[in-house]
Structure 1
């Protein structure tokens, strides 16, 4: 499911307009943008006017300039993707419905229509459209309730809030501080550190768990089937005991399936560290078998004498774990834009992109015994991530970089982005890029860690490196180089 599907026609078009401008040249022609967005001239001009007015009213750092049939985008350096979503979020009836169901669990058409101040006919149309989008998750809204497998419902809400709530607001929005004790207990139990981003991810999942743990009529049939190979798994038993102690504070009787929900999240969403997950691989199970098969594909492009990087194995295992336990994905445009894919692929000179698709197809058919068609957009997401693993395997010898670069995610996810930035920006011998380190001195920071600020000027990437980001960064670098010493 593309995130834009949850917005109204106007807001969806405005998001597509912004995305088109971010991936266009510094000043694109109006004709180019019309072709990219498939909007009429009058509609495009109306959207530009309304966006500029909304940004001005909300004191939001965004402006679209139209000059002699050329269009350019200006956006604040600290604006994030979530900020853009939040600007248009109040107009989304579908997201309001989903949020109401998250809080109330059930509704009547009359009551919900009153809350949303829309007609019942409009509500029925919105529900029908939502059900079409939710189908890839195996979910539907029927008889006043969101129905489907419980782990899929939580997985969907986790993605929805992770993509739409700015990280700088998430702690307050979901009272994440209340879960800090549990997070510290997990860190101590597994003897590992945990990044701020992962602590936010885990706290958000615990918040969703707390919201739903006391509900009746939860469906656990599918997760029990998926967990059968792990029922006597020593690693699962360790997680189970820890989670039973934690969840008992929120319910007098904790269903066994609740511990399963926690297990599949912390073992597939890059929460536990590579050295912890390495122990899990030794206990077998479908995901372990799939990882072994994935390694055979990687060995096709890596000489037998070379050791595989631990991070590559870890990322591969996490993605294959998601393919086993979940279906569907809520994704932003980064995964669907061919220009993004071409930018990463060309920059990494990836000659084996088809291996990612082949790997997924064989794992689904031979090990998971499932049809690839049921994955929905999780197929696009997983193919992208496995391409990143393959890119990393080929280019795992890092160069020396300049300018502080702070990127969220695993090394396999960050290296392609870092490589693109270096190839696009390191055009002057005075300019280099290197990993951000708070103990070192930098003149500038490029970051996608949206909940962090820095003691020097910084710029937030708006997504995968795109033409807009590169153009903005080139201007900043050129301005810096021309400053008097």
Structure 2
């Protein structure tokens, strides 16, 4: 983006994350621009909004307060993508990706700019690409093929809406392969995951033209580790059958690119007990150490939800397998861990760099800061709204059946966490029988239950819980 577009982007993002009316001076201070510059860019932003959606506008009142007015069918991502795609840098990168041997003359004609301007833009783009350890050289992207695939996947995924990707991509070439992967992983990919895979295989097929230029930076230790991984072996066999139609022989490399992609996008989470790769096991260990620093609750860390486990594994896989990152992964004005607990962030970053032996790039650092802040925020929300119920009744077959009944009836509620009580954990409500010594447990209130699996029992427990806590 140009500097003017960057200011407009900051203004738009600020409106999205703050109150409806914003004072002009406050806005100038927050995004660090002068008032004349801000006023000029507000006019330009409104023109762009109306060009994208005629009913979208910026309203100004008598006090110089501005409000962003968007119609109900306005797509924020669509507008930002539309905005981004107008940029010359975006168009140049897309052109280089799509055409293997494009000439400078053709670029000059297509984009209506001088040769000197093209090379100036290449120089500016290369400054951004440095973080990804790739560069534009002789009108081509040069670098490790794994990095090139990673960059272009996120470049196109973040710069287009799902609807525009559906119009541009042809899933027929990869649909059968995706179904095979679903059968292999014994799961159905979500709509988002499906189109991510379609885009990934589209990039893979286009990069076949560069096969003689592929640079492989995988160490022998790395290759040996993966070749001993059962899932990787099976993935390589699947790709070998698929790629045979293209007379393509680099099955090992393509299998590694795909395997790392699946891990980093959270589409595949290996079972720790079945994993023999020291590298993948290190990621599991890193997840636990980071979660312990952020959450500070050993019990909850030991029982992280599958979604939280997948979130952390995907996050740290990207750090291990790739350089660079995209700021679009997290909103500009979201809560950062560095804002509320900077000492926790420092501790987490030390763990990541030591455990994973990686020096983090600037964007990776920012994304981890945002991701860890997001995790802490979700944990705090869960603590604030979740009511923990402990069941402290004598173990028996009947007691187990009663606990199953309670978990079925109450455990489906997002605000209630019910488990067999342990002495180390505090509970808002402790369910006991006449044989329980309540002094052995930590509780705010307790209730002597009938152990009968009835509607009356559930209503009685809910009443006891509501009386013990403010709503």
Q: Deviations over 1:249-288 (max 9, x none)?
A: 344433521111111101221112x4xx226862232132
Match in the other structure for 2:278: 285
- Structure 2 residue aligned with 1:8: 2
Which residue does the alignment assign to 2:70? 75
Q: Give the 3-state SS of the residue equivalent to 2:218 in structure 1.
A: helix
Larger Rg, first or second structure (1 or 2)? 2
Over residues 339-384 of structure 1, what are the superposed CA-to-partner deviations in whole Å (9 max), with x where a residue is unaligned?
4116x999xxx76x6445423422322x433323xx3312221332
| SS across alignment from 1:327 | coil
Report the secondary structure of 1:64's partner residue: strand
2:290/2:351 contact within 8 Å kept: no
Which residue is 2:324 aligned to? Answer: 328
Task: Name the structure 2 match of 1:257.
Answer: 253
C-alpha separation in 2, matches of 1:59 and 1:262: 38
Q: Which residue of 2 aligns with 1:92?
A: 87
Instruction: State TM-score, norm by structure 2.
Output: 0.73
Q: How does 1:335-484 map to 2 (within 5 A)?
A: 335=331, 337=332, 339-341=333-335, 354-365=343-354, 367-372=355-360, 375-392=361-378, 396=382
- In structure 2, the CA distance between the partners of 1:360 and 1:399, relative to structure 1 (3 Å rule), is same
The Cα of 1:97 is off from its aligned counterpart by 0.7
Question: Whole-Å Cα distance in 1 between the matches of residues 210 and 273 of structure 2?
Answer: 31
User: Displacement of 1:231 after TM fit?
Assistant: 2.5
Of 39, 42, 47, 2:36 maps to 42
Task: Verify the 8 A CA contact 2:10 2:31 in the aligned structure 1.
Answer: yes
| Inter-CA distance 396–188: structure 2 relative to 1 (3 Å threshold) | farther
| 5+ long unaligned stretches in structure 2 | 387-412, 416-471
Matched, 1:271 2:272: no
Q: Which of the residues 112, 115, 130 maps onto 2:125?
A: 130
- Return the alpha-carbon distance in structure 2 between the equivalents of residues 132 and 319 of structure 1: 24
Match of 2:168 in 1: 173
Q: Note closer, same or farther for the CA distance 1:111–1:235 as it changes in structure 2 (3 Å cut).
A: same
Q: Point out the more displaced range, 37-46 or 236-245.
A: 37-46
Uncovered stretches (5+) of structure 1, i.e. residues with no partner: 1-6, 401-432, 436-485
Once residues 384 and 306 of structure 1 are traced to their aligned partners in structure 2, the CA distance between those partners, rounded to angstroms, is 19
- Is the partner of 1:253 in helix, strand or coil? coil
User: How many angstroms apart in 1 are the aligned matches of 2:282 and 2:274?
Assistant: 9
Q: Deviations over 1:314-335 (max 9, x none)?
A: 3222211111100100222845
Distance 1:82 1:288 in 2: 36
CA deviations 1:67-108 (Å, max 9, x no partner) are 231111112333334212233234311001110011013433
**How many angstroms apart in 2 are the aligned matches of 1:136 and 1:124?**
19
3-state SS, counterpart of residue 39 of structure 1: coil
Looking at structure 2, the residues matched to 239 and 389 of structure 1 have their Cα atoms a distance apart, in angstroms, of 31
Distance 2:225 2:373 in 1: 28
On the 8 A contact 2:330/2:370 being kept in 1, the answer is no
Q: 1:215 to 1:195 in 2, by over 3 A?
A: same
8 Å Cα contact 1:150/1:220 also seen in 2: yes
Aligned to 2:239: 243
The residue that corresponds to 1:3 in the other structure is none
Give the one of 225, 239, 246 matched to 1:229. Answer: 225
2:381 & 2:29 partners in 1: Cα distance?
36
* Greater length-normalized contact order (CA 8 Å, ≥ 6 residues apart): 1
Contact 1:309–1:393 (Cα < 8 Å) also in 2: no
In structure 1, C-alpha distance between the alignment counterparts of 2:344 and 2:261, rounded to whole Å: 26
Which is worse superposed, 122-131 or 46-55? 46-55
Q: State how many pairs are aligned.
A: 384
Which of 16, 20, 40 aligns to 1:22? It is 16
TM-score (norm 1): 0.71
RMSD between aligned residues: 2.9
Note closer, same or farther for the CA distance 1:356–1:180 as it changes in structure 2 (3 Å cut). Answer: farther
Aligned position for 1:317: 313
